[in-house]
Amino acid sequence: MSTAATAAPVNLLDFDVDGLVAWFAGLGEKPFRARQVMRWMHREGCDDFDAMTDVAKSLRAKLKEVAVIRPPQPVRDSVSTDGTRKWLLDVGNANAVETVFIPETRRGTLCVSSQAGCALDCAFCSTGKQGFNRNLSAAEIIGQLWLANKLLGAARVDANEAATEAATEAAADLEAGEKDNGRIISNVVMMGMGEPLANFDNVVTALHLMLDDHAYGLSRRRVTVSTSGIVPAIDRLRDECPVALAVSLHASNDALRDRLVPINQKYPLRELMAACRRYLERAPRDFITFEYVMLDGVNDSDAHARELVALVRDVPCKFNLIPFNPFPNSGFERSPAERIRRFATILIDAGIVTTTRKTRGDDVDAACGQLAGQVQDRTRRTVRLHKAEEARR
């Protein structure tokens, strides 16, 4: 057996096209071979080298010795009464992450995780209460899209369709009713478990694959990264891979946001708003989406709404109001529907596009803020929370 064959096989899902070309060069192979394999992997959903019929037989044999195509494997598959589908995916060492598919009339959105747990500990988020274990690899991130496409039976998008989409992107993506060219998964949002920009390099590799015509060929408008506000990483994303940006805002002033979103203590609202303005210089959309979870009696007053109007006056934006999705021992309650309506009206009257997110998948704990997975916490946060709970009893 060759020396290469004795080493751990390389997971080809870890590479974007440039990385795969470089890796193939190390095997003495030309760049077009890397692109062939990439199309088989991502556009065809193929994980069997023998099935790659236009790849040289000698190369297929070599790849079987030194490489694998291995996405995370599902351990649970849950379907909500509204059609939302959630997978619990094994990422090793007793850790599992969650991926959610949300079907809608004119689009299908996949919500992808970037970390096993989350280190940011936002007060109202179930994921944060599970603690943090590690960043996901690029293969584990893009593998969620790879697997969902396969499990959902997504139709193959051929080269002609990808070219047509690129040519008509500007027109097709203007409104929420934009066409999806027959894809089952037409949009991807990095809004699952974890803070994407805290796992920057692996997330960007996965983003490159989502956008690459040799892989998934999605429009930059159809791929969204959500962040709690890591300002230097927002600037890096603008420079390296500007996709649609959503910011988990959740508060209208620093004192409240320090409590709800602790990263605000390092990057306060003034710095965050400046980063948003800079991002818009290269963003594929001409606005930032601000996500705002509605917490009864905490951040949902008329005064908070008016503070938000003043806060974002220089940032072209839209607001997505999210009714809080409860989880055990959260300590928060959902704002009443009338309070949310009144809050939205103040923003709308100020000329800000505002929507209230329809809760999807809450019966299978797939709604926003409910994703928890299984996390072997390295931060001891769960231990501290348990001790604090015991002390209160």
Rounded to whole angstroms, the Cα distance separating 201 from 241 reads 11
Residue from 29, 98, 140, 178 carrying the catalytic annotation: 98
Rounded to whole angstroms, the Cα distance separating 152 from 182 reads 13
Q: How many CB atoms lie within 10 A of CB 213?
A: 17
CA-to-CA separations, 118 to 41, 106, 283, in angstroms, rounded = 29, 32, 26
Residue 98 catalytic?
yes
At residue 295, φ and ψ (nearest 5 deg) are: -110, 120
Residue from 241, 276, 317, 368 carrying the catalytic annotation: 368
- Ramachandran assignment for 383, one of left (phi > 0), alpha (psi -120 to 50 degrees), beta (any other): alpha
Q: How many CB atoms lie within 10 A of CB 19?
A: 16
Rounded to whole angstroms, the Cα distance separating 45 from 148 reads 10
Rounded to whole angstroms, the Cα distance separating 228 from 23 reads 34
DSSP code string of 321-340: EEE----TT----BPPHHHH
* Residues labelled as active-site residues: 98, 368
